[in-house]
Structure 1
Amino acid sequence: KRRFDQANRDLTGTFLFVNRVAVMMMPATTLLMNGLTVLILWVGAHQVAQATMRIGDMMAFIQYAMQVFFSFTMLSVLFILLPRVDIAAHRVADVLETEASIRDPEEPVPLPEPLTPTIEFRDVSFRYPGAEEYVLRDITFTVRAGETVGIIGTTGSGKSTLINLIPRFYDVTEGEIRISGVDIRQVRLKDLRDCIGYVPQQSNLFSGTIASNLRFADEDAPEERLMKALEVAQGHDIILSRAGDDGRSPLEAEVAQHGANFSGGQKQRLTIARALVKQPSIYIFDDCFSSLDYRTDRQLRRALREYVGGSTVIIVSQRVATIKDADWILVLDEGCIVGQGTHEELMATCDIYREIALSQLKVVVAQD
């Protein structure tokens, strides 16, 4: 805390000094420029009066003097900006030269074909690089192929961190994670991530069209699959509202950068549809139903269960209503598993889950 306070004080002092200098530069520059102009006019007027200089020569001299003066002014500004540019360039270079900590194994092991999408956590503990405290501790559970598993817990309990370990956004500190019996650290990243459809909390759309965004998951996906994915994600109304009168497919509707021309719920449904287009063996939904109303949420989950078939589904959510129909639910608190079972079992045995459920389900009933 003291180091942070000192760094802030140093930064504040530096900014105040730089701004004071910058504030003084403008009036000083104006004063010098006007003073130079007056001096040239004073000397030039005497020269004109003595018929040793023409008025046109004096005006030209003033223009040349102003150009030279402005050049020196811009040069001084350049010297002020140069240290900033140098620091920024070094930071960019540091990023470009940083080596990825998550790498392919030297002797990769292929995932079995056909893939049985079982996920097994064995005594997994994790802490972020440079941190002293563990975010997850002694996590052990197995998700069988074709199961739908819900993960819920208090804020900061490690839910998102837990599922980020599956596609190897981070590597476990202790223990191991296995998919279809193979340690994921022994699998090539491309092979591992090809079998996972991941939907993050933050909806990310790119400038282009609805079709081009959905085909980020599979460039060769036919239009029928795109429409089916949108239907399952309850996004049919999105393309119908964007359909034009020019005869083009509604999938060719424009998407602005970051999906600025869509609402939060529409962006989430399009992001979910993009994962469905991929048709992976494992689906991971990281609290991506939060912008949906309860009715749309329920309809989406019902359609999703029919669509995914034998794929394994993991849903992280703060809503009990979103996960209560899962095959089983994992409850986290402060990085540890404090409950595991169906909704009914956890209501009877897990205090944390029961407290969360009772605070939410009344609201859900009222909204339904």
Structure 2
Amino acid sequence: MQRTEGIKRAQFLAGMASAGLAAAVLPSGPARAAQGGPGRAPAAHGALRHHGVVYTVGEGETPGTAFSAARMRKDIRAVRDELHADTVDVTGDGVERLTATAAEAAERGLRVWLQPTLGDAPERDILEHLAETGRFAEGLRRHGAAVDLSVGCEFWLFVPGIVPGDTVFERIRNLLDGKVDPVAMQRRLDRFTAKAAAVGRSVFHGRLSYAAAQDDKVDWRLFDIVGIDYYSYFPRRADYVKELNRFLRWGKPLAVTEFGTCAYVGAPKTAGMGWDIVDYDKKPPEIKGDLVRSERTQAAYLMQLLDAFSSLNLYAAMAFEFVTPDAPHRPGDPRHDLDMASYGITKAVKDRPDDPASGWHWEPKEAFHALAHRYRSARTGRHHAP
């Protein structure tokens, strides 16, 4: 299979948020869906069933941030023993990285949400990458592991051929320039989504899902679990509940496959664009403006969303993300504190800040501690105040 660089989350979010891209380009309205059936959503009150975190695997931008199996194993143990999550969303590209991480998580007793996201590659390679990963997931499931398989993430930007352009940047540009026929795009998106679902079904016999953006039109009949990457901001919990209720109309369990924000004042109000505060034309890159770092802001937003998710008795919610090694924290240097632009619930700290090949370690943010308290309470069945 052809090897390809994974698409960074920031690249995707840039496309999603630019000029209200999703709402402006994608047709709105409910997808056709089967009514009722064994996958019917639970009652609208109760507790969040599974609490998790997104763990991204990839090649890394520098030798110092490249994937390390030893580091991954320590991280997965921390997800279980320190964060007290019961689920880990293993996402990214590279079948070996994905399967090694999924196997480690399963061995540690965690539920695995496995989501391969090979992008900017030929369609056949993306589907082969999915099939290889899905076959491994099925092997884990047959040996007793708790595994859900997601066939991918927001195909209309990740997969060439749905929107014109060979790279995510070209596709974003074409969308912004109006060089896209939305009807034809939706037709191609539907075709590839159905093909991916068929590949997933052919190799995996557990619950199947897909991670869609909030405004995507998806035929959820193809899947057992509705999956949504959720980055809304409202001042009141009731507004989150109202918006999330529309994703329950298909009568299927709902998983929030990503939720989170960055650690500075005002970040939640950016609705998914919190990362866009870095001037990469500067050497080294600089934080734009006079932003105020606030780990408390990040933690409070995550807790507000968890309150809403719990009130709706959702299937799962995975905080985005465990760590972002290529956005290091620089204590005492706010102009170059790239962690402010990270969604990580931990901060990456380099041993030698100016050395690209430097080793690094992570330290928990307030969001990590807040999630750990909530997740531990959920695991032990203790009540927590809304």
TM-score normalized with structure 2 length: 0.29
Higher-Rg member (1/2) = 1
**Larger RCO (CA under 8 A, 6+ residues apart):** 2
TM-score normalized with structure 1 length: 0.30
